[in-house]
Amino acid sequence: MTHIAAVQAAVTTIPFDGEPTDAELDAIEREMTLVLAEVELLDAQIMTLDRPASELDERRLRRARNRVLAARRDLTNRTVSIGGVA
């Protein structure tokens, strides 16, 4: 019987501790407005799943979509200006 052994050393030498880095936490904080806007949109969509959307529901959905678009725009503009392109 032939035994098979690894020829190379392990790819990762530093064990992963499972905690996010400071850079990852900063990125999450920058994107939090967008995340909250998307959660609000999802909540509005869930509320209309089991019944026809009323006029109030339609306004709620439209406002939530607009908040998501505004948050994406702001995040993109902030990213571009930080990157030095603008």
Residue 53's φ and ψ, nearest 5 degrees, are: -75, 130
Match 């990762």 to its residue by tokens: 12
Quote the CA–CA distance of 25 and 21 in Å, as a whole number. 6
For the chain, 86 residues long, give each residue's pLDDT as a single digit of tens.
Answer: 677 766 666 666 666 778 889 999 999 999 999 999 999 999 999 999 999 999 999 999 999 999 999 999 999 998 777 766 54
- Diameter over CA atoms, the chain: 74
Residue 35's φ and ψ, nearest 5 degrees, are: -60, -45
Match 């959307």 to its residue by tokens: 53
Taking the domains of the chain in order of start, what are their residue ranges?
22-83
- pLDDT tens for residues 51-62? 999 999 999 999
What is the per-residue pLDDT for 56? 96
